[in-house]
């Protein structure tokens, strides 16, 4: 069986470092926030080139807290891509605001910047570009539009940690960047974890308050907040993994290029990388007409694959009240029906990859 991702393979590759980090934390007696979290926050801030990093319980919480910190809520609108993980829309709705969808580029699956301005109304407060699959959104036009209309930009960088736009790390370009350390991410914890990053000291202070019940001084809340704190054990594990991130991302890039070279001649639509982008391939996504049949065929061969995502958020049950229908965003709809993720992780062997390629080739030639 070839897995979509093999987390145990990564663990065994750096077992001594991980075990030492875990043991050190257990012996420290600090388990919620504390010095391990502070150290990891500083490391991430340095890696991304930002001033402030705030460790949180999940990437979803990072979006929720970013929106709250910017006072975005009831009566406000937030522009998001029509093809993304539901949390991008769900967090906007959880705070009482309305997600306004725009279609995506059919090749990169990033927000189509040419469609943003027509979606702006007097109620629009922010734009959330999503660096989906590890390819950066086209940030300069998004930032120009935001400045022109007085909007905030929250980067959903859950899948793009280490990616670059014009040589700058994604997550560090907007007003707030939101990170996820879900175990399968390029930098993954052994449980949930997330982070918000910013260069704005006032926003950073507010997000630190919001993650801990709204207080700066313990037991003295200044507003209603959340319980969303990155725990020390996950921070220690992530700190041990962080020095390996760039080499892991390079391996993802090498394997993805090898996939491209072998699959494109078969008529498979393979991922693109724009000239201004550095793609970190959180997922290796192909597009194929008979997607479901290919997935079933791969399963028979013992090869895992997955659809990210079978339902665009605007067609989900929670979004029915907004009146969107099938066909409103054709590129998002096509992506939901025709894209498939193939196995990709830094420890994937060339022999395993060749087996995946051979299976796809066999399916195409049938």
**Domain residue limits, the chain:** 7-243, 245-365
Separation between Cα atoms, residue 153 and residue 165, nearest integer Å: 15
In angstroms, the CA 326 to CA 99 distance is: 17
* Residues with Cβ within 8 Å of residue 260, at least 6 apart in sequence: 270, 271
In sign, the C-alpha dihedral spanning 161, 162, 166, 171 is positive
CATH class for the region spanning 245-365: alpha beta
Question: Region 253-258: what's the mean pLDDT?
Answer: 98
Dist. CA 339–CA 307, nearest whole Å:
7
Tell me: the pLDDT tens digits for 259-269?
999 999 999 99
With H, G, I as helix, E, B as strand and everything else as coil, classify residue 231: strand
What is the average pLDDT score of the chain?
Answer: 97
In angstroms, the first-to-last Cα distance of the chain is 22
Minimal CA–CA distance to 322: which of 77, 37, 31, 8?
Answer: 77
The architecture of the domain spanning 7-243 is 3-Layer(aba) Sandwich (3.40)
Of the pLDDT bands very low, low, confident and very high (cuts 50, 70, 90), residue 351 is very high
Band the pLDDT of 336: cuts 50, 70, 90. very high
Instruction: Please report, for residues 49, 109, 117, 209, the alpha-carbon distance to residue 54 in angstroms, rounded to integers and kept in the order given.
Output: 14, 28, 31, 10
Q: Indicate if the pLDDT at residue 366 is higher than 90.
A: no
């Amino acid at each position: 069986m070839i897995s979509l991702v093999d987390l145990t393979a990564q663990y065994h590759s750096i077992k001594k470092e991980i075990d030492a980090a875990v043991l050190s934390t257990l012996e420290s007696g600090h388990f919620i926030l504390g010095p391990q979290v502070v150290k990891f926050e500083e490391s991430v801030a340095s890696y991304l080139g930002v001033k402030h990093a705030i460790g949180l319980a999940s990437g979803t919480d990072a979006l929720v807290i970013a929106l709250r910190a910017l006072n975005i809520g009831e009566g406000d609108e937030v522009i998001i891509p029509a093809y993304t993980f539901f949390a991008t829309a769900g967090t906007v709705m959880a705070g009482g605001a309305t997600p306004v969808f725009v279609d995506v580029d059919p090749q990169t699956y990033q927000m189509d910047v040419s469609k943003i301005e027509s979606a702006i109304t007097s109620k629009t407060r922010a734009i959330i570009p999503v660096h989906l699959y590890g390819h950066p959104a086209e940030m300069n036009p998004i930032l120009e539009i935001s400045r022109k209309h007085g909007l905030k930009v929250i980067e959903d960088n859950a899948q793009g940690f280490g990616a670059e736009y014009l040589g700058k790390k994604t997550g560090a370009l907007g007003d707030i960047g939101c990170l996820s350390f879900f175990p399968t991410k390029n930098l993954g914890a052994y449980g949930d974890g997330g982070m918000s990053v910013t260069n704005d000291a006032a926003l950073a202070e507010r997000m630190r308050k919001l993650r801990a019940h709204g207080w700066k001084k313990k037991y003295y809340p200044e507003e209603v907040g959340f319980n969303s704190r990155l725990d020390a054990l996950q921070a220690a594990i992530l700190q041990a993994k962080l020095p390996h991130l760039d080499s892991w991302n390079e391996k993802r890039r090498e394997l993805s290029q090898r996939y491209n070279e072998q699959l494109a001649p078969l008529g498979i639509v393979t991922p693109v990388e724009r000239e201004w982008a550095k793609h970190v391939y959180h997922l290796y996504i192909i597009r194929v007409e008979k997607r479901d049949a290919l997935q079933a065929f791969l399963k028979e061969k013992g090869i895992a694959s997955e659809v990210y995502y079978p339902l665009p958020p605007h067609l989900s049950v929670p979004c029915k009240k907004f009146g969107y229908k099938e066909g409103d965003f054709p590129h998002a709809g096509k992506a939901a029906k025709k894209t498939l993720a193939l196995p990709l992780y830094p420890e994937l062997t060339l022999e395993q990859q060749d087996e995946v390629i051979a299976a796809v080739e066999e399916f195409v030639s049938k």
